[in-house]
Structure 1
Amino acid sequence: MKIFGFPVDSTGRCKHYHGENDIVSIKFKCCNRYYPCYKCHDESTDHERQLWGKGEFNEKAILCGNCLNELTIDEYMHNQKCSNCNATFNPNCAKHYNRYFEI
């Protein structure tokens, strides 16, 4: 999987968010591309973000940077860890859900 934007390492950490658990990339509905964060998307594209609707939370739109497993939005929002490798994701990302998903 290719991660667009400004990743700084192979796990998807970016210039904006590069803590130990910042290993999630999100597939943006508007362009069907994975970015480490909304800032990377906005700085790299010439279009506005589109939110994933509540009825689309079964879509595989989350990429674990540790093992490259794709998770559904619902899995990501309710577990905060990868279902494949058990890597823990940054719980503070929940503060930004409204930038990616209809809440």
Structure 2
Amino acid sequence: MKIYGFPVDEQGRCKHYYGQNDIVSIKFKCCRKYYPCYKCHKEAAKHHTELWRKEEFHKKAILCGECKHEISIESYLRNGKCHHCTAFFNPHCSKHYHLYFDSTE
């Protein structure tokens, strides 16, 4: 999978978020491209972000930087780690969920 934006390493860390557990890339619904974070998307894409709706959380839109498997939004939100390789994701990413996922429905 290609990661767009500004990744700085093979695990998908970017110039904005590069901690040990910052290994998640998110497929943006609006363009169907993986970006390391909302800041990378905002800087690189020339369109507005479209949020994933709750009824779409079953779709695979999360890329684990450790094993390169796609996982569902639902699994990502529920587990905080990859169910393929068990790599842990940054728990602080939850502060930005509202920028990717619509939770108002």
What is the TM-score when the length of structure 2 is the normalising length? Answer: 0.97
CA distances 1:17-50 after superposition (whole Å, capped 9, x unpaired):
0000000000000000000000000000110000
CA distances 1:50-98 after superposition (whole Å, capped 9, x unpaired):
0000100001000000000100000000000000000000000001000
After superposition, the CA RMSD in angstroms is: 0.3
Count how many residue pairs are aligned between Structure 1 and Structure 2. 103
Match of 1:94 in 2: 94
Match of 1:59 in 2: 59
Q: Name the CA distance, whole Å, in 1 between partners of 2:17 and 2:70.
A: 20
Match of 1:76 in 2: 76
Match of 2:49 in 1: 49
* Residue 30 of structure 2 corresponds to residue 30 of structure 1: yes
Q: Name the CA distance, whole Å, in 2 between partners of 1:20 and 1:26.
A: 17
What is the TM-score when the length of structure 1 is the normalising length? Answer: 0.99
Q: Name the CA distance, whole Å, in 2 between partners of 1:18 and 1:33.
A: 20
Amino acid at match of 1:90: N
Query: 1:9 deviation in Å?
Result: 0.1
Identity fraction in percent = 63
Q: Name the CA distance, whole Å, in 1 between partners of 2:17 and 2:43.
A: 14
Unaligned runs of 5+ in 2: none
Unaligned runs of 5+ in 1: none
**4+ residue runs over 6 A deviation:** none
